[in-house]
Amino acid sequence: MLSPAAPPGPPCAPGPPGAPDPGRRPSLLASGSVRLALCLSPLLLALGWAVANRSVAHEGAVRLAGADPWWLLAGGGFVALNCAAAACVRQGALPDRLPPGLLLASQFAAGAANHALPGGLGAHAVTLRFLRTQGIPTARATASIALYSLVRSTAKTLVLLAFLASSPARRTLGDLLPQERQLLPALAVAGGALVAAGALPVLLRPLRRPAAAFVRSALADAREVHSRPGRVLALWGGAAAMPLVQAATLVCVGAALGLGLPWVQVVVAFLAAGTAVGAVPAPGGVAVDAALVWTLVAFGASPAAAATTVVGYRVLTDWLPLLPGTLVLSALLRAKVL
| Mean pLDDT, 10 residues at a time, the chain of 338 residues | 49 47 44 52 59 63 77 93 94 93 92 70 88 90 91 91 79 53 48 52 60 78 92 95 95 91 92 70 62 88 86 86 86 86
Predicted local distance difference test score (pLDDT) of residue 314? 86
pTM over 0.85: no
**Long-range contacts, 21-30 (Cβ 8 Å, 24+):** none
Provide CB contacts within 8 A for 35, sequence distance 6+: 29, 334
104, 84 contact by CB (below 8 A)? yes
Predicted local distance difference test score (pLDDT) of residue 325? 87
Q: Report DSSP state, residue 15.
A: -
Helix 180-203 with 205-225: angle, nearest 10 deg:
110
* Of 282, 281, 177, 292, residue with least CA distance to 246: 292
The secondary element (H helix, E strand) that includes residue 205 is: helix 205-225
* Of 250, 325, 319, residue with least CA distance to 53: 319
